[in-house]
Amino acid sequence: MKRIVSIASAVIILCCAIFLFTACADDKSATIKSYSIEKTEYSVGDTFSTDDVVITAELHNGEKRKIDTNLVFDDSAIKDQLEDGAFTEAGAYTVTVYATEKRDDLKIGDWTITVVE
């Protein structure tokens, strides 16, 4: 009887280990292949908002997902062009977008903003 319990226990442990390693396998198809950031156009007097950015992540399996959380924006290039949050003059500007924090290794890309009269 002890032998049957030992064999059954060994089989159960082996099945659990196989399941654990299979479940934890690196699924490269669900990882991000690239990001794209749509250009945005404002008019002079429009209010700048980071909510206007449209970022799409393409996964290795071809699936595309909209990214809209945990983003950090370096908007220092446009700070001088804003008065009470609104654009004061026409021009082309770039806002750098990062995932979770402002670090080079977390850079998603540059958001191109055009302000027209």
Confirm whether 100 is domain-assigned.
Answer: yes
Total domains in the fold of the chain: 1
Instruction: Look up the pTM and report it.
Output: 0.73
Both tokens assigned to 60: 């290795």
Confirm whether 45 is domain-assigned.
Answer: yes
Structural domain span for residue 93: 31-116
Confirm whether 7 is domain-assigned.
Answer: no
CB 48 within 8 A of CB 75: yes
Confirm whether 59 is domain-assigned.
Answer: yes
The tens digit of pLDDT for each residue in 6-63 reads 776 777 776 666 665 555 555 566 789 999 999 999 999 999 999 999 999 999 999 9
Confirm whether 103 is domain-assigned.
Answer: yes
CATH number of the CATH domain containing 54: 2.60.40
Confirm whether 6 is domain-assigned.
Answer: no
Q: Give, in order, the Cα–Cα distances in Å from 95 to each of 4, 16, 54, 82.
A: 67, 48, 13, 13
Confirm whether 1 is domain-assigned.
Answer: no
